[in-house]
Amino acid sequence: MKKALITGITGQDGAYLAKFLLDKGYDVYGTYRRLSTPNFWRLEYLEVFDKVNLIPADLSDTGSIVEALKISQPDEVYHLAAQSFVGASFETPVATGDVTGLAVTRILEAIRQTCPETKFYFAATSEMFGKTGLLNGGKSLNEGDFFYPMSPYAAAKLYGYWITRIYREAYGIFAVNGILFNHESPLRGLEFVTRKVANEVAKISLGLSKELRLGNLEAKRDWGYAPEYVEAMWLMLQQKEPDDYVIATGEAHSVKELVEKAFGIVGLDWKEYVKVDRRFFRPLDVPCLVGDYSKAKRKIGWEPRTRFDKLIEIMVEEEVDRWERWLRGERFPWDAPNYPSENRILTRALRM
């Protein structure tokens, strides 16, 4: 049985990837960090919490990363953990540089020293292209395009991208960069714009909220469906040679189109509810990102199936369903966070 270690298993992609790999027959390990409130709701939501092995680790703590590798002895490492919110990276640029950037070297160095045969996936991002998406006139971006990061987050990811290539070329580690464009789902964090919009639209439609406050409505993104993107991560590690791939839908839509579509699903006019609020603007914002996934299609046989309209429908309908259940007295897993009694947390004490 193959073994995989996922850093950031409690996040959107980590949870979907855990489910995907379990369905493929993998023994799945994941790192999580201690928070004041437990955060396993996505794993519970996908009904995989009691099927994965959880190892306490923090990206700023090299020893905990080494321990996670020793406990899991993985064939494949999927490094997804990061401070992943672009807006927050302007508030905490140094911490983001450490956790999102430098920590990639901590993991690669631990792999080099303890298990150099392990394959490594790095969650790189379309944000690394940044201003290039504007300078090239909005054309779709591929693996050969110029990187021009526009946030501390993007700069940290660009460091991670290059260190991944350096460990591949210097030490022969099977290390790949997945350059993923935005991918969304009902498991997205609430602060990201698609989930924020879907959640507020659902609440407004049920009389639970009155307005939706947003920042830059003109920004354009290439939004895909997260469960399809985790399959691409796995495919990249099944190839003969390590390489880097863009994963995207090839379509860009503005935040304005997103709100128009989302309010339309519940039969409302967005102009009556959306307020532009300076708080949600960033000191710099990437104006437009659209990806060219033709290399991934040609080489690893991946292509997107869920397009923008369907994605927004999935997200809004799921939020309406959640809030209707909430009104009937049901509670979501994240309303009652807990360490479920039957769990599979592997601490050092078990190895002593």
Question: Which residues are near ligand NAP by CB under 6 A?
Answer: 8, 10-14, 33, 35, 39, 58-60, 80-84, 99, 123, 125, 180, 182-183, 189
Residue 324 CB, nearest distance to ligand G4F (Å)? 24
Return left, alpha or beta for 179; rule: phi > 0 is left, psi -120 to 50 is alpha, else beta: beta
Which residue number, 130 or 273, has a Cβ lying nearer to ligand NAP? 130
Residue 216 near which of ligand G4F, ligand NAP, none (CB within 5-8 Å, type-dependent): ligand G4F
Query: From its phi and psi, is residue 123 left (phi > 0), alpha (psi between -120 and 50) or beta?
Result: beta
Q: Catalytic residue numbers?
A: 125, 127, 153
Residue 62, class by beta-carbon neighbours within 10 Å (0-12 exposed, 13-18 middle, 19+ buried)?
Answer: middle
Nearer to ligand NAP, 198 or 204 (CB): 198
**What's the closest the beta carbon of residue 46 comes to ligand NAP, in angstroms?**
13
39 contact, one of ligand NAP, ligand G4F, none, CB 5-8 Å limit per kind: ligand NAP
Q: How far apart are CA 178 and CA 38, in angstroms?
A: 29
Helix (H, G, I), strand (E, B) or coil at 27: strand
Determine the 3-state secondary structure of 178 from DSSP: strand
Decide: 260 and 266 in contact? Cβ < 8 Å: no
Q: Which does 255 bind (CB under 5 to 8 A by kind): ligand NAP, ligand G4F, none?
A: ligand G4F
Q: Which is nearer to ligand G4F, 211 or 324 (CB)?
A: 211
Q: Smallest distance from the beta carbon of 297 to ligand G4F, in angstroms?
A: 19
Which spans of this chain sit near ligand G4F (rule: CB under 6 A)?
84, 86-87, 125-127, 181-182, 191-193, 196, 214-216, 219, 221, 255, 280, 282, 285, 289
Q: Which is nearer to ligand G4F, 49 or 181 (CB)?
A: 181
- Min dist CB 118 to ligand NAP, Å, is 19
Give, as one character, the DSSP assignment of residue 102: I
One-character DSSP codes across 287-342: -B--B--HHHHHHH-------HHHHHHHHHHHHHHHHHHHHTT---GGGS----SS
Residue 214 contact, options ligand NAP, ligand G4F, none, Cβ 5-8 Å cut-off depending on partner type: ligand G4F
Q: Which residues, at least 6 apart from 272, have a Cβ–Cβ distance to it below 8 Å?
A: none
